[in-house]
C-alpha cells in the first residue's frame, strides 16, 4: 500500500512538472528524452549553445556554431569554459564578415578530430583567412575555408587545375609547374610530395586572398631565371641564393627560420598552404 502511494505521488509530481512547463534538462528531443545543448565547435540549435558559449554566424563556417569570445589572440582558450575541449584564441582581419573581437576556435591535429564536432568542418589547419595565414605556427584549428570563398582542394590528391577558371591567373599554372620542376631537380621539394600538391601550394602562395601578388610572382620568376640561366654551371642548384635570396625567409611567408633552415621549403609551403599534413 505504501509502495503504491509513493509511486502515485511521484507520477503526479512529474505530470505537474510537465504541465507547468518545468524541465530537468536543457531541452528535449521529439521523443521527450533530455539532450544536452550543443557544445564548443558544434552547430547551434536555434541559436542556443551550452552555458557560457555564444552562437556565431559568420563566414568562418557555413553554419552557425558555438564558440566563446576571448581576449588574447594566439593563446590557448580556457578548457574549463569550453566544456573540457581545447581551443585557440584567434582574431580575424578587418573586413571579414564576423565579430571584430577574438574568439575561440577548436584546436586539432588532423581533420578527423573536427568532423565529429560537425561534418561541415573541412580541414584542420593553421589559422588563415582567404588563404592568408593569420599567424605563424601557433597550432591548428578546425576550419571551413569555402565559407569565405576559398577554393577547397583535397590535400591528398591536390586535384586543383580544373577548379581555377579565372583567365587572369591561368599563366600562373605554367609558372608553378616550372617552379616545382626546379624544386624537384634540385631536391628541394618536400620528400613524397606529389607534383600536383607542389603546384597547388605554389599557386596559393602566388595568389594570397585569391588575388595575384606581383611581388611573389616576380620572386618566383627570379628563381626560375637563375635556375635556367645556370644550367651549364655546377652551381645550378645554389646560384639562386645569390641571385634571389634563400627560398625561406623569416617573414610572413615562413613562421620559423630554424625550421626553414633545416627543411628549406617545407615551412614556406605549409604556412602559405594551411592543410592537413603540414607542421
Q: Cell numbers for 79, please give them.
A: 578548457
Distance, CA of 124 to CA of 106 (rounded, Å): 9
Q: Angle, nearest 10°, between helix axes 171-185 and 214-229?
A: 50
Tell me if residue 250 falls in helix, strand or coil.
coil
Q: Which residues contact 212 (CB under 8 A, 6 or more apart)?
A: 168, 169, 172, 206
Is the sign of the CA dihedral 234, 238, 240, 244 positive or negative?
negative
Q: Cell numbers for 9, please give them.
A: 505521488
Lay out the sheet containing 87-90: strands in order across. Answer: 87-90, 103-108, 140-143, 123-125
Q: Which residues contact 228 (CB under 8 A, 6 or more apart)?
A: none
Q: What is the pLDDT along the chain (279 residues), one digit of tens a residue?
A: 333 333 333 332 222 223 333 322 345 444 455 678 999 999 997 889 999 999 999 999 999 999 999 999 999 999 999 999 999 999 999 889 999 999 999 999 888 899 999 999 988 988 988 878 888 888 999 999 888 877 778 777 888 888 888 888 899 999 999 999 998 898 877 777 888 988 988 888 888 767 888 998 999 999 999 999 999 999 999 898 889 887 765 333 333 333 333 333 344 444 333 333 333
Q: Angle, nearest 10°, between helix axes 195-206 and 171-185?
A: 120
CA proximity to 90, closest of 130, 43, 139, 48: 139
Given this model, what pLDDT does residue 64 score? 95
State which H helix or E strand residue 128 sits in. Answer: strand 128-129
Given this model, what pLDDT does residue 33 score? 55
Q: Which residues contact 254 (CB under 8 A, 6 or more apart)?
A: 248, 260, 267, 268, 271
Segments making up each domain of the chain, as ranges: 54-148, 161-272
3-33 b/e with 16+ CB inside 10 Å = b?
eeeeeeeeeeeeeeeeeeeeeeeeeeeeeee
Is the sign of the CA dihedral 191, 225, 136, 98 positive or negative?
negative
Strand partners, 48: 45
Task: Give the position of cell 505537474.
Answer: 16
Amino acid at each position: 500500500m505504501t509502495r503504491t502511494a509513493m509511486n502515485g505521488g511521484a507520477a503526479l509530481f512529474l505530470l505537474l512538472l510537465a504541465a507547468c512547463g518545468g524541465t530537468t534538462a536543457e531541452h528535449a528531443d521529439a521523443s521527450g528524452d533530455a539532450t544536452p545543448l550543443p557544445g564548443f565547435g558544434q552547430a547551434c540549435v536555434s541559436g542556443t549553445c551550452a552555458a557560457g558559449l555564444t552562437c556565431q554566424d559568420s563566414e568562418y563556417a557555413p553554419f552557425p556554431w558555438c564558440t566563446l569570445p576571448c581576449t588574447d589572440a594566439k593563446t590557448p582558450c580556457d578548457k574549463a569554459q569550453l566544456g573540457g575541449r581545447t581551443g585557440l584564441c584567434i582574431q580575424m582581419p578587418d573586413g571579414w564578415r564576423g565579430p571584430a573581437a577574438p574568439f575561440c576556435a577548436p584546436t586539432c591535429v588532423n581533420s578527423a578530430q573536427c568532423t565529429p564536432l560537425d561534418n561541415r568542418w573541412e580541414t584542420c589547419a593553421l589559422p588563415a583567412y582567404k588563404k592568408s595565414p593569420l599567424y605563424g605556427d601557433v597550432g591548428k584549428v578546425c576550419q571551413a575555408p569555402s565559407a569565405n570563398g576559398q577554393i577547397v582542394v583535397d590535400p591528398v590528391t591536390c586535384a586543383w587545375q580544373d577548379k581555377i577558371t579565372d583567365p587572369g591567373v591561368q599563366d600562373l599554372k605554367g609558372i608553378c609547374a616550372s617552379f616545382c620542376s626546379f624544386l624537384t631537380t634540385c631536391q628541394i621539394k618536400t620528400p613524397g610530395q606529389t607534383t600536383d600538391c607542389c603546384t597547388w601550394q605554389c599557386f596559393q602562395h602566388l595568389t594570397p586572398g585569391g588575388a595575384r601578388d606581383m611581388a611573389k610572382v616576380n620572386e618566383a620568376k627570379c628563381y626560375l631565371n637563375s635556375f635556367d640561366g645556370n644550367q651549364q654551371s655546377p652551381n645550378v642548384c645554389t646560384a639562386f641564393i645569390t641571385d634571389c635570396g634563400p627560398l625561406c625567409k623569416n617573414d610572413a611567408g615562413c613562421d620559423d627560420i630554424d625550421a626553414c633552415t633545416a627543411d628549406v621549403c617545407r615551412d614556406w609551403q605549409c604556412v602559405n598552404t594551411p592543410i592537413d599534413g603540414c607542421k
